[in-house]
Structures are given as structure tokens and as C-alpha cells.
Structure 1
């Protein structure tokens, strides 16, 4: 139970702190004409890298 509470606290604090930073940076860096595609590719690469690290770091 303590681990679940700790995980929830971590997730909540990450979402308020560093979590949205990648999305904000992606949305602000690219010009409007390619922003949608670039953000989609960026988030896809982010999720792919996160999944790879999660599977590889076992």
C-alpha cells in the first residue's frame, strides 16, 4: 500500500513539475505550418524511447 501511495505522489508531482516540459517545448519550437506533424513525431519518439528504456532496463 505504501508503494502505491508513493507512486501516486510521484506521478502527481511529476505532472505538476517536469512532466509537461517536453510538450511545451515541442509546441513552441516548431513553426505553425509543421507544428502538428512535428509534435506528433516528437511524442511518438518520446514514447518509443521510454518504452525501450523500460524494457531494456529490466
Structure 2
């Protein structure tokens, strides 16, 4: 993956004062062929980091 060049498979916009949480029951989980890559950028397809940091928690099984 090349940040800013490769189209993302999933994009979740998170407002500056908000959060995103989603639970996938059973087989509704998204499938990834090779790996999961996470990036925090100012736009969904961009390569610029936001001015403030992000706190993220990920669980993968």
C-alpha cells in the first residue's frame, strides 16, 4: 500500500470531537486478503497527517 496512492478498502470518517465504533456480528466482518493497514490522514485518500494525534484501539482475530 502506498499512502495517498492506493484506494482504501474501508474508510471511516471521524469528526474532530467524535468517535467511531462498530461491531461486526458473525460473518458480516470485512475480509482482508493480505493484511490490515491503518493510517490517520486529513482526507480519505490523502497522505497528510492531521495536526493533532489520534488515539486508536484495534482488535483483530
What is the TM-score when the length of structure 1 is the normalising length? Answer: 0.24
Which structure exhibits the higher relative contact order, with contacts defined as CA atoms closer than 8 Å and separated by 6 or more residues? 2
Larger radius of gyration: 1
What is the TM-score when the length of structure 2 is the normalising length? Answer: 0.23
Query: Is the helix fraction higher in 1 or 2?
Result: 1
